[in-house]
Amino acid sequence: MVSASVAERVSRIASEMGYARSSLAYGLRTGRTQTVGVVIPDLTNPLFPPIIRQIERRLAEQGYIAILADSDNNHENEKVIVQSLMSRNVDGLILATAHRLDSVVIACVEENIPLVLVNRTIDAHSVTAVINDDAHGIELAASHLVGLGHEMIAYIGGPQDTSTGHERFLAFKHLKNAGHFKSHSDLIRNCKAFTEIEGRRGFLTLLKKDRKFTAVIAANDLLALGCYDALSELGLRCPNDISVTGFNDMPFVDRLAPPLTSVHIPHEEIGNQAAELLLEKMRNPQSPIRTVNILPELIVRGSTAPPA
């Protein structure tokens, strides 16, 4: 409606007079705020910071700012947070909080907001997600323990309403049923949360029963730390009495006493992929739904050894 030279002159004078673009007014007019909401279940889990940092970096390169929120492992919080982000007209969402059946995720899909799940996905696989090959990770841990000579293996799992908790547990059961090692329902405990406290509590109940196993696979590193706590409380040593494996290879597990053998997932690459897929989805809402499955590898450290 105005010529390019007039538009240029208006911008120049506005800028000289100290006016800056109001993101609010810009957002109202264009429906875009250049902000992305990122929701994680537990900020104090060292798994997330390197993933988030990479998401922030990739998004910043494209002029987006991330609003980070922590749901504190609480589905009700997740709902409130996502509503609050939506009312602030975020252009997209990255959720690390998904449950296998997740009304918040479904509501986001119905609202047509660009959405990427990270680390966990929903059973329907109807949302783009960047996840790890959970079954392969458990296989790597089990093969390593079997290779060391362990025959009877315990399992400390995560919540079964998350894809990570469920897939890792299914993989363990499948390997046991296929005869790769022995286990028993008394040697398997799925915890309510991926935390040290839950891992300790779960492993204590196994250790206090008839202890015939020589190794335990924990479904993530925080659960493995809980296993360390349970062992030291009972005066047992790792790996001399019991070998322990974790999952995620989160920062600092290489410095623990003993350093933790863990399934490594590439944190930065996961963050990168999640940001890329969201940027694509925001540019083109019709881009196809996909699940990117990242292959983990095992990092062997001092927490695993041949059985005594």
Task: Give the footprint of a second copy on residues 196-225 (CB under 8 A).
Answer: 225
Nearest approach in angstroms of CB 105 to a second copy is 19
Q: Does 27 bind a second copy (CB under 8 A)?
A: yes
Q: Among the candidate windows 51-59, 118-126, 130-138, 270-278, which touches a second copy by CB under 8 A?
A: 51-59
Q: Does 46 bind a second copy (CB under 8 A)?
A: yes
Q: Does 15 bind a second copy (CB under 8 A)?
A: no
Nearest approach in angstroms of CB 184 to a second copy is 30
Q: Does 193 bind a second copy (CB under 8 A)?
A: no
For Cα atoms 49, 52, 58, give the angle at the middle one, nearest 5 degrees. 140
d(CA 281, CA 63): 15
Task: Give the footprint of a second copy on residues 83-122 (CB under 8 A).
Answer: 84-85, 87-89
Contact status, residue 199 vs residue 191, Cβ threshold 8 Å: yes
Nearest approach in angstroms of CB 20 to a second copy is 6
The DSSP code for 152 is B
DSSP E strands, 201-242 = 215-218
Nearest approach in angstroms of CB 22 to a second copy is 7
The alpha carbon dihedral of 48, 51, 53, 58 has a sign of negative
Radius of gyration of the chain (CA): 23
Burial of 121 (0-12, 13-18, 19+ CB in 10 A): buried
**Identified binder of a second copy from the candidate list 4, 17, 20, 178, rule CB under 8 A:** 20
For Cα atoms 199, 202, 205, give the angle at the middle one, nearest 5 degrees. 145
Structure tokens given for 141: 């841990």
Q: Does 70 bind a second copy (CB under 8 A)?
A: yes
Q: Among the candidate windows 78-86, 145-153, 202-210, 273-281, which touches a second copy by CB under 8 A?
A: 78-86
d(CA 276, CA 285): 13
DSSP 20-37: ---HHHHHHHHS--SEEE
**Identified binder of a second copy from the candidate list 109, 173, 193, 258, rule CB under 8 A:** 258
Nearest approach in angstroms of CB 181 to a second copy is 28
Residues that bind a second copy (CB under 8 A): 20-25, 27-28, 33, 35, 43-44, 46, 49-50, 52-53, 56-57, 65-70, 72, 81, 84-85, 87-89, 225, 228, 251-252, 255-259
